[in-house]
Homo-oligomer: A and B are copies of this chain.
């Protein structure tokens, strides 16, 4: 992709909000997070049963949510328990809130 030479600098809040929004920009990831809100936590395998998607695809969505900071994984061998990352969740919540006023 061609990029403007001087890459644009946005405020930290703008960047962070966009990052959260991007992570939320796919219905599967919204659905995963809704699921996590209900169950409080869950394993990758649970989601593979809930959604008609390949395990690798689910794993990839989880990775993006993790990269965005919205969830965190906890080792529960041989499984991994995923939960909402409450600090960042609240951060996202307040960023969206103030954005929409």
Contacts and interface: CB of A to CB of B under 8 A. Distances in A.
Given A10-B27, A14-B27, A30-B99, A4 B93 contact: no
A2 to B, nearest CB: 9
A58 to B, nearest CB: 12
Chain A interface residue bracket vs B? 20 to 34
Contact of A26 (B18, B27, B30, B100): B18
Give the number of copies in the complex.
2
A95 to B, nearest CB: 10
Given A23-B25, A89-B100, 11 more contacts: A8-B28, A8-B51, A10-B27, A10-B28, A10-B31, A14-B30, A14-B31, A17-B30, A21-B23, A21-B24, A34-B99
10 contacts: A10-B31, A14-B34, A18-B24, A18-B26, A18-B27, A21-B23, A21-B30, A92-B100, A96-B100, A97-B100
